[in-house]
Amino acid sequence: MTYLQLAAWFLGAAAVAAVVLVSLTPRARRPRAAALAIAALALIALTAVFDSIMIASGLFHYSPDHLLGVHIGLAPLEDFAYPVAGAVLLPALWAFLRARRHSGRAEGGREADA
């Protein structure tokens, strides 16, 4: 399996999970698309910088046989699937859990504030 295939499976699973979580979240509590885009761009920039530093310092390397061959800095394109997946999945999970906690309180349940 190549790094691109692994990244595609990971990104696909995150996207499916995010769609399911968002569909179960009330519209007023869903993450905003602009906020997700800004977060994704920030994570991509940080990944480009810090992956390039880590690769240049020799902390890890990739087998060129399993890479697509496209790089941003020293970071292979496949590395960017993980921050994008995080930018998609984690806000959806956060919104779902907050909406669920809020609906529990509205139904009369008493939970401690976090």
What pTM did the predictor assign? Answer: 0.79
pLDDT at 71: 94
Q: Which long-range contacts (CB under 8 A, 24 or more apart) does 8-14 make?
A: 8/81, 10/81, 10/82, 10/85, 11/81, 11/84, 11/85, 14/85, 14/86, 14/88, 14/89
What's the CA gap between 57 and 74, in Å, rounded? Answer: 11
Domain spans, the chain: 3-105
> Quick check: 88 and 15 in contact, CB under 8 A?
yes
pLDDT tens string 68-100 = 899 999 999 999 999 999 999 999 999 999 998
Residue-wise pLDDT tens digits, 15-74: 999 999 999 999 888 889 999 999 999 999 999 999 999 999 999 888 888 898 999 999
**110 pLDDT more than 60:** no
